């Protein structure tokens, strides 16, 4: 039974990656001022999008989004509450690093949810970083 489940899930992976890339493209189109961080314009792990809003503080955006029911992380996975040494090693300027959020997509993430995230980020930026 477990083998069949794993095989069924693996069979969907190519389509899932394409779907994640479409969601990432939707996010990028809705937030043209954002900086997508990563190899090839932000395309690394298909289900994770590291996006920065230069001039904004990621912790402020993260806290406000959390209050709106949207969960994101800030910086890179290895930041541990400090400025990410990974993003620093990539040669990114401090303003880009400090405004970086990680958005994760799942099989269930809808286009509507991505657009809601984008709307809320715009609202937060207008409110806190005019």
Q: What is the per-residue pLDDT across 33-51, written as a single tens digit (0 to 9) for each?
A: 999 998 665 556 778 899 9
Q: Return the minimum-mean-pLDDT range out of 36-40, 87-91, 104-108, 114-118.
A: 36-40
**Which value, to the nearest 10 degrees, does the dihedral of the CA atoms of residues 90, 101, 55, 62 take?**
-150
pLDDT score, position 42: 53
Distances in Å between the alpha carbon of 12 and those of 4, 17, 45? 13, 9, 16
SS (H, E, C) 64-88: HHHHCCCCCEECCCCCCCCCCHHHH
May I ask the CATH architecture of the domain 2-128? Alpha-Beta Complex (3.90)
Q: When comparing pLDDT for 122 and 88, which is higher?
A: 122
Residue ranges of the domains in the chain? 2-128
pLDDT score, position 88: 87
Give the helix/strand (H/E) hosting 16: helix 13-30
Supply 79's token pair. 């930041």
pTM: 0.84
Q: Specify whether the CB–CB gap between 124 and 65 falls below 8 A.
A: yes
């Amino acid at each position: 039974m477990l083998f069949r489940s794993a095989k069924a899930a693996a069979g969907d992976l190519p389509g899932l990656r394409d779907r994640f890339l479409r969601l990432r493209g939707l996010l990028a189109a809705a937030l043209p001022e954002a900086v997508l961080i990563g190899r090839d314009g932000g395309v690394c792990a298909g289900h994770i999008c590291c996006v920065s809003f230069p001039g904004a503080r990621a912790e402020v955006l993260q806290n406000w989004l959390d209050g709106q029911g949207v969960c994101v992380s800030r910086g890179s996975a290895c930041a541990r509450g400090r400025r990410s040494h990974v993003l620093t090693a990539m040669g990114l300027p401090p303003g880009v690093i400090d405004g970086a959020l990680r958005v994760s997509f799942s099989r269930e993430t809808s286009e509507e949810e991505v657009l809601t995230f984008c709307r809320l980020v715009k609202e937060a930026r207008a409110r806190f970083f005019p």
